[in-house]
Amino acid sequence: MRFEHLYVHVPFCARRCVYCDFSIAVRSVVPATEYVSGIAAELRARHSANQLDLATLYFGGGTPSKLGGDGVSRLIQSIAQKAHIRKDAEVTLETNPEDVSAANVRDWKAAGVNRVSLGVQSFDDKVLRWMHRTHDATTAKQAVQVLREGGLSNVSIDLIFATPESLERDWRSDLDSALSLGLPHVSLYGLTVESQTPLGRWVARKTADEAPEESFESQFMEADRLLTSAGYDHYEVSNYGRPGFHSRHNWAYWQRKPYAGLGPSAHEFDGGVRRWNTEAYTGWLTSIEEGRDPVEGSEVLSVEQADQETTYLGLRTSNGVPVDTPLPEQLSRWLDAGWGTVTSDSRLRLKGSGWLRLDSIASDLTVFRSRY
């Protein structure tokens, strides 16, 4: 099996954000050498020669930028010893603003990084403190400038919307700040409450509240109007990119293309079987050091499951999914509500508030197809 896409999970963080339920390892001193050696060992044990011919390479987390300039360089070098990284490969590094320095940017670019995903989340310092972020708005804006000056202009920023009303956040101000930076890509994520997170515990104790549904929808729609009016393509439910700057790596996920995964909690998919690694960094590292595969579990997808995924992932994107004509009554009601449109080549594409009803629409469409 040959893979053209590789995800590498770097779990290290300075602290856990209130909403985070990802696999992270909070470290005051990042064990970069130990981690890079572990990734190299996993790569050697799992993938044979010429199995990885990479069109995209994505370093996610956690906070990959915590490895610094030298750590990221050594990590990419270790991967390149086993994998072929194409000259035109998209190499993305998730970063936090406080890790962006001229020296780090120079090292990242020299190592092959050509796309940066910057975890901004908000330009409101009060909101950032509440989230337990370790940067402020000024640092975020300066990070964009430093990246550009260092030759990394393909920058995406993440913003989180639908924060508690008690924070009195000005969402429009955040959007205006993002647009003023003139970036090629913006990702938007609605704040969700997971029970095992600090936020989940706060909500359970009633010391924090969730944004009402109408606020969630109104903020999403406001962002959609502003970003599309500014020339961004709304090419996936959470992602807006200028033409030529859509995420190639994530697009591979949404098209169900095979991808390899390394590091704690990383997933791998060969087109029929999905497998995932041990979540905790210490457990993953122990497996590696003992010469064992750190895989924790796997599943073989049935034809029905694959069809469900294809429908769901297709509806996540601007490609949409093919539909039969004449249109079923249920689908006609969705169109009448303004949730989507059917193209001339008979593809259903969601739009506007339809994006917010993705789960239920995908479920209904899957059920309808199974019956008919």
Residues 81 and 198: their CA atoms lie apart, in Å, by 40
Q: What is the CATH code for 3-254?
A: 3.20.20.70
Residue 327 confidence (pLDDT): 67
Residues 104 and 72: their CA atoms lie apart, in Å, by 9
Which tens digits make up the pLDDT trace of 214-261? 999 999 999 999 999 999 999 999 999 999 999 999 999 999 999 999
- Domain boundaries defined on the chain: 3-254, 303-371
Report the SS3 class of residue 47.
coil
Residues 186 and 119: their CA atoms lie apart, in Å, by 11
Residue 361 confidence (pLDDT): 87
Residues 230 and 173: their CA atoms lie apart, in Å, by 15
Q: Which two tokens stand for residue 80?
A: 């390149």
Amino acid at 370: S
Residue 21 confidence (pLDDT): 87
Residue 170 confidence (pLDDT): 97
- 209-248 exposure pattern, b = at least 16 Cβ within 10 A, e = fewer: ebbeeebbbbbbeebbebbeeeebbbbbbbbbbeeebbbb
Residue 369 confidence (pLDDT): 64
Residue ranges of the chain with per-residue pLDDT less than 70: 325-327, 368-372
Q: Identify the H or E element spanning 91.
A: strand 84-95
